[in-house]
Amino acid sequence: MNDHKLTVVLLFGGRSGEHEVSLNSAWSIYKAIDRSRYNVETIGINKQGQWFWGVIPDQILKTGFPTTSEGLQVTLVIDPTQPHFLAINGQSLPNDGKFDLVFPVLHGTYGEDGTLQGLLEMANVPYVGSGVLGSSLGMDKDRMKAVFIERNLPSARYVTLLRSEFLREPETYLNMIEAQLGYPCFVKPANLGSSVGISKAHDRTELQESLKTAAIFDRKIVIEESITGHEIEVSVLGNDSPIASIPGEVLPAQEFYTYEAKYSNIGSSLLIPAALEDDLVQKLQLMAVQAFQAVEASGLSRVDFFVNDENEIFLNEINTLPGFTEISMYPKLWEATGIPYSELIDRLIILGMERFQDKQNCKISQND
């Protein structure tokens, strides 16, 4: 980047079940971003999907979003020649709402699943993180696993069913899951992160209840065999030439790493670095990069594994917009690898700008 001080729009909140996680991640970034290099503007999205200019994540956590009459609602003007934000009430915005890059911190649906990325692509806006394809594949656990299998990346056995199928023939699908996977097994909404809606079923009664819970959050449900072993996570950073952090191990207080364990940190702990042999560390780092490339991710991702007592590796999933709170594994792994939190934010912004410029060069070539 040149000496121009970039204006970064920190975008957070959103309509997903991970709304509060997003606010916490955004607050951490807001405090740590280098103000000597970046002008920071904030836009918070409430649970109804309305965008508010100038709201601060910490204040939203304390008092909630303003009403539409109190807050300054804005919209993104889809003008590829001059993208900018516009106040709905006509009020002027700093620099006429112009900016250099959007830093999305929206976990889950309508933020991490490719929908927001499509909007930003239509407006010709630079942004941090994966594009439409990488985001959508990273969000949909069913399609993600299909891509991993295509790349011969070892994963746990799983089955997928639609909510409508289960509600129509519950006994049929309970029998199928028992026959193909057995107990215990994990039941997950296909398109949510942060362990929202995830249950571990040990018998038929729990399985039925777990499927009902997952069906609240998504029309598609993924059921996976349970792998006994260590929960290992690796952070990945980059675009075309990504690098992997040292691995860390999750030591959950509960039977698995639940939403509460991730964000309240009560009883759970992170072992960084994970106590693994060097050759196993290298295999995990290589596989993390391969998973990142398989879904065509960019910018950042956290890749989650299980490692059993025989040191067999099972790729669990990739998260293309992982939690960015002060206790989140993604930044903590990079800190332990040698990239402090503030520098990590800087690198992600640079990667976002580089990816945008690379795509612009392709467009120029197409027009020649």
Distance CA 19, CA 75 (A): 19
Exposed (0-12), middle (13-18) or buried (19+): which is 171, by Cβ within 10 Å?
exposed
Residue 311, sorted as left (phi over 0), alpha (psi -120 to 50) or beta, turns out to be: left
Q: Coil, strand, or helix at residue 10? A: strand
228 is in an annotated binding site: yes
255 is in an annotated binding site: no
Contact 315, 308 (CB under 8 A): no
Q: Tell me the torsion sign for CA atoms 273, 276, 281, 284.
A: negative
Is 194 among the residues known to form the active site? yes
195 is in an annotated binding site: yes
233 is in an annotated binding site: no
Is 235 among the residues known to form the active site? no
188 is in an annotated binding site: yes
Is 328 among the residues known to form the active site? yes
289 is in an annotated binding site: no
Which one, of 342, 319, 340, lies nearest residue 235 by Cα? 319
Strand-pair partners of 41: 9
- Residue in 194, 245, 298, 301 annotated catalytic: 194
Structure tokens at 343: 């520098």
Tell me, rounded to whole angstroms, the distance of Cα 112 from its chain centroid. 6
317 is in an annotated binding site: yes
- Residue in 18, 41, 112, 233 annotated catalytic: 18
> What values do phi and psi take at 201, rounded to 5?
-105, 130
226 is in an annotated binding site: yes
Distance CA 280, CA 244 (A): 13
Q: Tell me the torsion sign for CA atoms 167, 172, 177, 180.
A: negative
121 is in an annotated binding site: no
Binding-site entries for ATP? 141, 186-188, 194-195, 224-231, 316-317
Active site residues: 18, 194, 328
Binding-site entries? 141, 186-188, 194-195, 224-231, 304, 316-317, 319
Binding-site entries for Mg(2+)? 304, 317, 319
